[in-house]
Chains A and B, each alone.
Chain A
Amino acid sequence: MGRYIVKRIIAGLITMFVLTTVTFFLMHAIPGGPFSPAEERKVPKQVMEKIEEKYGLNDPIPVQYLNYLKNLAQGDFGLSFKQRDMTVNELIEQGFPVSAKVGSIAIIVALLVGIPLGITSAIKRGKWADWLAMIIATVGISIPSFVLSVLMLFLFAVVLKLLPTFGLTTWQHYILPVAGLSFGPIAYIARLMRSSMLEVMRYDYIRTARAKGVHELKVICKHALKNAIIPIVTYLGPLVAILLTGSFVIERIFSIPGIGRDFVTGISDRDYSVILGMTVFFGAFIVVANIIVDVLYAVIDRRVKMDE
Chain B
Amino acid sequence: MIHTARMKEREDGPFYPGDASDLPDDLFEKLDESDRQDNEEITRPSKSYWQDAWARFRKDPLAMIGLCVIVIMAIAAIFGPIFSEYTYDGQNLENGNQPPSGEHWFGTDKFGRDIFVRTLYGARISLLIGFVAAAINMVIGIVYGGISGYFGGRVDMLLMRVVDIMIGVPDLLYIILVMMFLGNSIQSILIALCLTSWIGTARIVRSQVVTLKHQEYALAARSIGSSNLRILFKHLIPNSIGPIIVTVTFLVPSAIFSEAFLSFLGIGIQVPIASWGTLVNDAIPTLFTQPYQMLFPALAISVTMFALNFIGDGLRDALDPRLKK
Residue pair B280, A15 in contact (C-beta under 8 Å): no
Residue pair B301, A22 in contact (C-beta under 8 Å): no
CB contact list, B57-100 vs A, under 8 A: none
The one of B172, B291, B309 that contacts A245, using a Cβ cutoff of 8 Å = B172
Distance between A25 CB and nearest chain B CB, rounded to angstroms: 9
Contacts of A14 in B (CB 8 A): 165
Contacts of B265 in A (CB 8 A): 248-249, 252, 264, 267-268
Q: Is A132 an interface residue (CB 8 A)?
A: no
Contacts of A142 in B (CB 8 A): 253, 302, 305-306, 309
Report Cα–Cα, A16/B173, bound state, in Å: 13
CB contact list, A6-34 vs B, under 8 A: 11-12, 14-16, 18-19, 22-23, 26-27, 29-30
Report Cα–Cα, A252/B280, bound state, in Å: 13
Residue pair B261, A267 in contact (C-beta under 8 Å): no
CB contact under 8 A between A150 and B309, given known A248-B265, A286-B168: no
0/1 string, A189-210, CB within 8 A of B gives 1:
0000001001000000000000
Contacts of B253 in A (CB 8 A): 142
Number of A-B contacts (CB under 8 A): 110
0/1 string, B94-113, CB within 8 A of A gives 1:
00000000000000000000
CB contact list, B295-309 vs A, under 8 A: 295, 298, 301-302, 305-306, 309
Stretch of B114-122, B141-149, B174-182 that contacts chain A? B174-182
Residue pair A26, B306 in contact (C-beta under 8 Å): no
0/1 string, B280-298, CB within 8 A of A gives 1:
1001100110010011001
Q: Is B169 an interface residue (CB 8 A)?
A: yes
Contacts of B165 in A (CB 8 A): 11, 14-15, 18
Distance between B268 CB and nearest chain A CB, rounded to angstroms: 11
Residue pair A138, B287 in contact (C-beta under 8 Å): no
Residue pair A151, B309 in contact (C-beta under 8 Å): no
Distance between A152 CB and nearest chain B CB, rounded to angstroms: 11
Residue pair A282, B291 in contact (C-beta under 8 Å): no
Contacts of A110 in B (CB 8 A): none
Distance between A21 CB and nearest chain B CB, rounded to angstroms: 11
Distance between B277 CB and nearest chain A CB, rounded to angstroms: 8
The range of chain B's interface size is 35 or more
Nearest-CB residue, chain A, relative to B302: A143
Residue pair A290, B288 in contact (C-beta under 8 Å): no
Residue pair A154, B309 in contact (C-beta under 8 Å): no
Distance between A28 CB and nearest chain B CB, rounded to angstroms: 10
Report Cα–Cα, A288/B161, bound state, in Å: 18
Contacts of A22 in B (CB 8 A): 174, 177
Report Cα–Cα, A143/B280, bound state, in Å: 13
Contacts of B291 in A (CB 8 A): 154, 158
Residue pair A244, B168 in contact (C-beta under 8 Å): no
Report Cα–Cα, A43/B174, bound state, in Å: 34
Q: Is B127 an interface residue (CB 8 A)?
A: no
Q: Is B131 an interface residue (CB 8 A)?
A: no
Distance between A118 CB and nearest chain B CB, rounded to angstroms: 12
Residue pair B164, A11 in contact (C-beta under 8 Å): yes
Residue pair B180, A267 in contact (C-beta under 8 Å): yes
0/1 string, A145-168, CB within 8 A of B gives 1:
011001101100010000000000
Q: Is B325 an interface residue (CB 8 A)?
A: yes
Q: Is B209 an interface residue (CB 8 A)?
A: no
CB contact under 8 A between A23 and B177, given known A141-B309, A147-B280: yes
Sample of 19 more A-B contacts, CB < 8 Å, known A19-B173, A267-B180: A12-B168, A18-B165, A26-B181, A27-B180, A143-B301, A143-B306, A144-B261, A144-B305, A146-B260, A147-B302, A154-B294, A158-B291, A198-B325, A244-B170, A245-B261, A248-B265, A249-B261, A253-B284, A282-B170
Q: List chain B positions with a Cβ less than 8 A from chain A.
A: 164-165, 168-170, 172-174, 176-178, 180-181, 253, 257, 260-261, 264-267, 280, 283-284, 287-288, 291, 294-295, 298, 301-302, 305-306, 309, 325
Q: List chain A positions with a Cβ less than 8 A from chain B.
A: 11-12, 14-16, 18-19, 22-23, 26-27, 29-30, 138, 141-144, 146-147, 150-151, 153-154, 158, 195, 198, 241-242, 244-245, 248-249, 252-253, 264, 267-268, 270, 275, 279, 282-283, 286-287, 290
